């Protein structure tokens, strides 16, 4: 029995930009990875600097969150017409984050030119 093709984010996967959606886990990885390193550092004898490095990594959360948002709002473009799918089609202004995610989930082709991918 073969697996059916997932029906979410079809257009985004067709244009090869699913890595942008996967990059949205960056913030969680940075925070939890840094906290894990900090906790391991507290368990190591005389290795206080490991804990400090872990806390510094965890505190880079604002930078990771900013990078996530920037990637999301600037890297999902139609390869044919250049339309940025996270912006409004008629207003050309950035959509609300949740609204943009919802729309991207259902797109089968570019909402502006109708291209289904490369």
Sign of CA dihedral 87, 14, 104, 73: negative
Same domain, 22 and 10: no
Cα–Cα distance, 62 to 60 (Å, whole number): 6
Same domain, 22 and 61: yes
Cα–Cα distance, 28 to 65 (Å, whole number): 9
- Report how many domains make up the chain: 2
Each residue's pLDDT tens digit, 28-66: 888 888 888 888 877 777 666 777 787 788 788 888 889
Structure tokens at 118: 């490369």
Whole-model pTM over 0.85: no
Same domain, 34 and 69: yes
Is residue 1 very low, low, confident or very high in pLDDT (cuts 50, 70, 90)? very low
Domain of residue 87 covers 1-15+77-111
Same domain, 64 and 83: no
In a domain, 116, yes or no: no
Cα–Cα distance, 83 to 77 (Å, whole number): 5
Cα–Cα distance, 27 to 78 (Å, whole number): 26
């Amino acid at each position: 029995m073969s697996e059916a093709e997932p029906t979410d984010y079809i257009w985004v996967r067709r244009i090869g930009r699913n890595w942008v959606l996967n990059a949205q886990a960056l913030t969680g990885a940075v925070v939890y990875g840094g906290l894990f390193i900090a906790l391991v550092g507290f368990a190591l004898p005389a290795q206080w600097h490991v804990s400090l490095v872990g806390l510094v990594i965890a505190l880079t959360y604002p930078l990771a969150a900013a990078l996530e948002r920037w990637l999301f709002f600037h890297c999902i473009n139609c390869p044919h017409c250049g339309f940025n799918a996270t912006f409004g089609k008629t207003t050309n202004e950035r959509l609300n984050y949740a609204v943009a995610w919802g729309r991207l989930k259902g797109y089968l082709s570019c909402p502006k030119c109708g291209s289904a991918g490369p």
